[in-house]
């Protein structure tokens, strides 16, 4: 018989849980019963280079409000010593790690240099910083955390990116952004190869057109009034709340047969169709299929056909 909280007793680390998809994943894992360590660089005392006001303390409080147990741990995942201290704390307090979510990014302020900017026209420091934030941080975290995760068989690693493997075959914005968003897909595939021998699983998950805090601010709307932004961008009609990808990751984590996904690139819409969960409004938006068919393919359909 399935329990009301299928992840009770599981220990999760959500690296990059300050806002957006990472925050929602942390909250949904907590709501499903997991004890969640939520990390990030922005606290109530200090902001990261991203410059936004959301904090990891707020994330931990949201986990608690959802009925879970959350710990906010300030961590720069590019600093090996900080990541080691984090993992040692989890080992000391819990003795295990069952779920690792690599959602670290924080490079949108650099990615916004504009589509069409050729590689040699982008400041090298900006480009390399994108790769530090979106690739190296994931590698540092996995290298340090995986020995704890594989101590007990059955662990799960989730790499979070922007775009499916199929969609990301095409060029994304600019050279550095493209590399940063494709790397987690390949990392999940490579980790799946290594983890299979110890009975663990790695997948890559992407949200669709995400109604993150930054995106809502960009359009001047809120989560309540988000549909007002469709007048500015008709494709925003397919947008999904961060809760949707949070539920996607929680569903995979709770699936006893999740090994079938090992090494795969999965979208929130695809997983909703598989597991039957919905977004907060009861819909199941399949953004990447919509973008491929309608936004880029010109099929003539509407967003409502893909919700």
* Residue 36 near residue 30, CB atoms below 8 Å: yes
Q: What is the pTM of this model?
A: 0.95
Band of pLDDT at residue 108, cut at 50, 70 and 90: confident
59 in any annotated domain: yes
In tens, the pLDDT along 178-190 reads 999 999 999 999 9
Instruction: Examine residue 236 and state whether it is found in any structural domain, yes or no.
Output: no
The per-residue pLDDT for 299 is 79
Give the pLDDT confidence of 197-248 residue by residue, as tens digits: 999 999 999 999 999 999 999 999 999 999 999 999 999 999 999 999 999 9
300 lies in some domain: no
Asked whether residue 296 is domain-assigned, the answer is: no
* Number of domains composing the chain: 1
Q: What is the pLDDT of residues 251-275, one digit of tens each?
A: 999 999 999 999 999 999 999 999 9
> Is 4 a domain residue?
no
Q: Would you state the pLDDT for residue 1?
A: 43
* Residue 227 is assigned to a structural domain of this protein: no
**Which CATH number is 79's domain given?**
3.40.50.720
Q: What's the order of all strands across the beta sheet hosting 11-15?
A: 69-74, 35-40, 11-15, 99-102, 156-160, 201-206, 265-267
Q: Is the pLDDT of residue 113 over 80?
A: no
pLDDT given for residue 112 in this prediction = 58
Greater confidence, 107 or 54? 54
In a domain, 203, yes or no: yes
* CA-based nearest residue to 99, from 258, 210, 265, 260: 258
pLDDT confidence of residue 296: 85
Quick check: is 194 in a domain? yes
Cα 69 from Cα 76, distance rounded (Å): 22
Smallest CA-to-CA distance from 13 within 129, 200, 138, 131 is with 138
State residue 116's pLDDT score. Answer: 56
Q: Residue 246's domain spans which residues?
A: 11-222+242-284
**Average confidence (pLDDT) over 81-110:** 95
């Amino acid at each position: 018989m399935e329990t009301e909280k299928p992840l009770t007793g599981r220990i999760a680390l959500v690296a990059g849980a300050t806002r957006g998809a990472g925050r929602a994943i942390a909250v949904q894992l907590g709501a499903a019963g997991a004890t969640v360590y939520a990390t990030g660089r922005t606290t109530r005392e200090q902001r990261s280079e991203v410059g936004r006001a959301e904090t990891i303390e707020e994330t931990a409080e949201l986990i608690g409000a959802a009925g879970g147990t959350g710990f906010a741990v300030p961590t720069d995942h590019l600093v090996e010593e900080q990541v080691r201290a984090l993992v040692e704390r989890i080992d000391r307090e819990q003795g295990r790690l069952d779920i690792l979510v690599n959602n670290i990014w924080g490079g949108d302020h650099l990615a916004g240099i504009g589509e069409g900017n050729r590689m040699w026209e982008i400041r090298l420091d900006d480009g390399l910083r994108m790769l530090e934030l979106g690739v190296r941080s994931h590698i540092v975290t996995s290298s340090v955390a995986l020995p704890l995760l594989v101590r007990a068989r059955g662990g799960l690693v989730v790499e979070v990116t922007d775009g499916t493997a199929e969609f990301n075959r095409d060029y994304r914005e600019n050279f550095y952004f493209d590399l940063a968003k494709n790397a987690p897909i390949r990392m999940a595939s490579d980790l799946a190869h290594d983890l299979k021998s110890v009975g663990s699983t790695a997948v890559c998950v992407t949200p669709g057109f995400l109604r993150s805090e930054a995106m809502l601010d960009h359009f001047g709307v809120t989560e309540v009034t988000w549909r007002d932004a469709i007048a500015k961008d008709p494709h925003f009609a397919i947008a999904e709340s961060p809760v949707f990808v949070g539920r996607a990751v929680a569903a995979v984590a709770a699936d006893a047969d999740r090994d079938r996904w090992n090494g795969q690139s999965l979208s929130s819409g695809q997983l909703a169709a598989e597991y039957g969960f919905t977004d907060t409004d009861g819909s199941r938006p399949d953004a990447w299929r919509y973008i491929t068919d309608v936004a880029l393919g010109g099929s003539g359909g509407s967003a409502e056909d893909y919700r």
